[in-house]
């Protein structure tokens, strides 16, 4: 059992929300960084004995491919074929041919491109490209080859009869490779990118963090606009429009649920009524800012049986999250954070069943070192979504879902040198959490959201927030 924060109590105080600003959008990922990433992949290929690696992407499952190349499939699918040497080959459909120059690798002649029309949408021209099997053979695949398959998900022992050979790519791609190299020589290699212990994308560079800070700041400013623009009896579409989404790529569908709608719903044209629960999010790549509370000005606006919302539900959550933050530092074991949450927020009252926090990257959920019994350490470069989701049929939910990252002195110095304004904003947010909200936050933790850990229980009175005193 973890010791509770007995020396502080949760209170509601009226504050002025801080202004941290939003920096300029960081420059596109550099050729040098992409070259470094390809070298990382090839080093891992050699250690695993892979002669080839195929990295797949589509509109929803793009992050591994985008990290490697800076190409995200827009309408179609795409596939990168890597060998141990030479320029890799990117296969794209009809409409992505013109998008290839978005990759610095392609512009430098360090990635080739070819149209594979079976990746195109139905009824488009599909009669002027080579068969996938022939392309694989020309890329050097033989009976002796061993192919690492990368899509978006790996499987663990016991989940499938043969988890290493359970492939998440479309069967027509997997079948073409297995027709050449055999069934057992196509192996799921997503762990190299996504495993919380060692995955490439589970520890971010300074340039990645600078972009994620930018997207978190923008997402959180959109959520702030929504909270301060909310009015009783506006429609959920009107409420959503307050975010002023400006075209930044989205990491998941924006959600907006009121009343008895499921939490992952989108606007339905409903009118937001006084005394109803409300939850919503805005998710640009690398960020997902979410808040949950009530369409209310005070507890008096809630149903009578829920008027102890802060004492019975939101307050215990806020206090547990304060302890979660106080424990968060480099070297802490992931299981500790599971225990903090489940010791203080029993399942039968708070309904928390997902991980007590997870890693985020270009995709909204990568993986997590936080689960029951986890001895995985918190590492420098980890980018976390503070995504602990309580749920109650009586109280609805509450949330401080923001992005943070963990950084040792070396990474912080890199960020300070290359992106000083970004670094300064992160430090200012951390001081706000300490001085205004009453949190204990390690120097290893840098918040990226412009509304860091701000929990307004009554959305029609957003300046009234939870604090620890």
Q: How many CB atoms within 10 Å of residue 417?
A: 10
**Which residue, of 188, 217, 240, is where some domain finishes?**
188
Same domain, 297 and 439: yes
pLDDT at 354: 96
For 113, the domain range is 51-188
Closest CA to 110 of 48, 53, 33, 52: 33
What DSSP state is assigned to residue 249?
P
The answer to whether position 352 is within a domain reads: yes
Same domain, 346 and 392: yes
Q: Tell me the per-residue pLDDT of 54-88, one tens digit each, with 9 for 90 and over.
A: 999 999 999 999 999 999 998 999 999 999 999 99
Query: How many domains, the chain?
Result: 2
The pTM of this model reads 0.96
Q: How many CB atoms within 10 Å of residue 116?
A: 23
**DSSP state letters, 370-400:** -STT--PBP-TT-EEE------BTTTB----
Same domain, 138 and 249: no
The rounded distance, in Å, linking the Cα atoms of 452 and 450 is: 6
Same domain, 184 and 259: no
**DSSP state letters, 9-43:** -EEEEE-PPP-----PPPPPPPHHHHHHHHHHHHH
Same domain, 211 and 181: no
Q: Positive or negative CA dihedral for 89, 99, 362, 19?
A: positive
The rounded distance, in Å, linking the Cα atoms of 260 and 263 is: 9
Same domain, 213 and 172: no
- Report CA-CA distances (Å) from 155 to 52, 80, 160, 359, 384: 20, 21, 7, 17, 22
82, containing H or E segment:
strand 78-83
CA end-to-end distance (rounded Å), the chain: 23
The rounded distance, in Å, linking the Cα atoms of 301 and 304 is: 8
The rounded distance, in Å, linking the Cα atoms of 81 and 70 is: 15
pLDDT at 1: 44
pLDDT at 262: 81
pLDDT at 260: 85
Closest CA to 395 of 311, 280, 288, 281: 311
Same domain, 212 and 147: no
CATH number at residue 271: 3.90.230.10
The answer to whether position 86 is within a domain reads: yes
**Which residue, of 188, 209, 237, is where some domain finishes?**
188
The answer to whether position 42 is within a domain reads: no
Same domain, 425 and 322: yes
Q: Positive or negative CA dihedral for 22, 407, 67, 158?
A: negative
Q: Tell me the per-residue pLDDT of 443-462, one tens digit each, with 9 for 90 and over.
A: 999 999 999 999 999 999 99
User: Would you say 160 and 166 are in contact if contact means Cβ atoms under 8 Å apart?
Assistant: yes
Same domain, 77 and 131: yes
218, containing H or E segment:
helix 206-229
Three-state DSSP string of 119-161: HCCCCCCCCCCCCHHHHHHHCCCCCCCCEEEECCCCCCECCEC
Closest CA to 212 of 361, 394, 321: 361
Same domain, 302 and 345: yes
User: Would you say 117 and 125 are in contact if contact means Cβ atoms under 8 Å apart?
Assistant: yes
Coil, helix or strand for 199? coil
pLDDT at 264: 85
- Report CA-CA distances (Å) from 432 to 176, 301, 436, 444: 55, 30, 5, 15
Total count of residues recorded for the chain: 469
The rounded distance, in Å, linking the Cα atoms of 405 and 400 is: 15
CATH number at residue 104: 3.40.350
The rounded distance, in Å, linking the Cα atoms of 464 and 469 is: 15
Same domain, 300 and 418: yes
pLDDT at 150: 98
The rounded distance, in Å, linking the Cα atoms of 443 and 446 is: 7
**Which residue, of 161, 188, 215, is where some domain finishes?**
188
The answer to whether position 275 is within a domain reads: yes
The answer to whether position 33 is within a domain reads: no
pLDDT at 342: 97
What are the tokens at 356?
């007590």
The answer to whether position 443 is within a domain reads: yes
pLDDT by position in tens, the chain (length 469): 454 555 799 999 999 999 999 999 999 999 999 999 999 999 999 999 999 999 999 999 999 999 999 999 989 999 999 999 999 999 999 999 999 999 999 999 999 999 999 999 999 999 999 999 999 999 999 999 999 999 999 999 999 999 999 999 999 999 999 999 999 999 999 999 999 999 999 999 999 999 999 999 999 999 999 999 999 999 999 999 999 999 999 999 889 999 888 888 889 999 999 999 999 999 999 999 999 999 999 999 999 999 999 999 999 999 999 999 999 999 999 999 999 999 999 999 999 999 999 999 999 999 999 999 999 999 999 999 999 999 999 999 999 999 999 999 999 999 999 999 999 999 999 999 999 999 999 999 999 999 999 999 999 999 999 999 9
The answer to whether position 424 is within a domain reads: yes
Packing angle of the helix pair 420-435, 409-418 (nearest 10 deg): 120
Same domain, 91 and 225: no
**DSSP state letters, 316-344:** HHHHHHHHHHHH-STT-BHHHHHHHHHHH
277, containing H or E segment:
strand 277-282
The answer to whether position 287 is within a domain reads: yes
User: Would you say 204 and 179 are in contact if contact means Cβ atoms under 8 Å apart?
Assistant: no
User: Would you say 22 and 217 are in contact if contact means Cβ atoms under 8 Å apart?
Assistant: yes
């Amino acid at each position: 059992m973890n010791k509770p924060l007995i020396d502080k109590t949760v209170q509601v105080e009226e504050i002025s929300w801080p202004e941290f600003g939003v920096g300029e959008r960081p420059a596109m990922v550099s050729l040098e960084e992409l070259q470094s990433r390809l070298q990382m992949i090839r080093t891992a290929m050699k250690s695993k004995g892979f002669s080839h690696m195929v990295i797949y992407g589509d509109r929803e499952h793009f992050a591994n491919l985008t990290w490697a190349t800076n190409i995200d499939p827009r309408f179609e699918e795409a596939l990168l074929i890597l060998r141990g040497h030479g320029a890799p080959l990117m296969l794209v459909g009809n409409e992505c041919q013109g998008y290839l120059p978005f990759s610095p690798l392609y512009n430098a002649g360090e990635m080739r491109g070819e149209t594979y029309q079976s990746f195109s949408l139905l009824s488009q021209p599909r009669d002027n490209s080579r068969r996938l099997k022939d392309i694989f053979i020309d890329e050097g695949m033989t009976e002796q080859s061993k192919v690492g398959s990368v899509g978006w998900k790996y499987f663990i022992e016991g989940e499938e009869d043969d988890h290493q050979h359970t492939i998440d790519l479309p069967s027509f791609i997997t079948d073409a490779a297995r027709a050449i190299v055999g069934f057992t020589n196509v192996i799921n290699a997503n762990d190299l990118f996504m495993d919380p212990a060692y995955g490439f994308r589970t520890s971010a560079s300074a340039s990645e963090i600078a972009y994620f800070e930018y997207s978190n700041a923008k997402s959180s400013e959109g959520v702030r606009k929504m909270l301060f623009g909310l009015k009783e009896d506006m429609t959920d579409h009107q409420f959503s429009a307050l975010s002023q989404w400006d075209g930044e790529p989205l990491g998941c569908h924006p959600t907006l649920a009121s009343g008895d709608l499921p939490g992952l719903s989108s606007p339905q044209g409903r009118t937001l009524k006084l005394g109803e629960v409300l939850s919503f999010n805005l998710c640009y790549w690398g960020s997902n800012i979410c808040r949950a509370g009530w369409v209310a000005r005070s507890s008096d606006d809630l149903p009578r049986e829920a008027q102890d919302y802060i004492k019975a539900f939101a307050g215990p959550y806020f206090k547990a999250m304060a302890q979660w933050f106080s424990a968060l530092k480099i070297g802490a074991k992931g299981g500790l954070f599971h225990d903090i949450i489940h010791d203080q927020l029993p399942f039968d009252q708070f309904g928390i069943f997902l991980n007590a926090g997870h890693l985020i990257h270009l995709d909204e959920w990568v993986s997590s070192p936080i689960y029951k019994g986890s001895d995985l350490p918190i590492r420098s470069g980890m980018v976390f979504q503070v995504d602990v989701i309580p749920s109650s049929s009586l109280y609805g939910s509450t949330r401080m879902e923001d992005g943070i990252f963990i950084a040792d002195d070396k990474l912080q110095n890199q960020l300070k040198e290359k992106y000083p304004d970004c670094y300064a904003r992160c430090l200012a947010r951390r001081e706000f959490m300490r001085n205004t909200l009453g949190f204990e936050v390690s120097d290893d933790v840098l918040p990226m959201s412009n509304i860091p850990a701000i929990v307004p229980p009554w959305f029609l009175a957003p300046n009234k927030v939870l604090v620890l005193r």
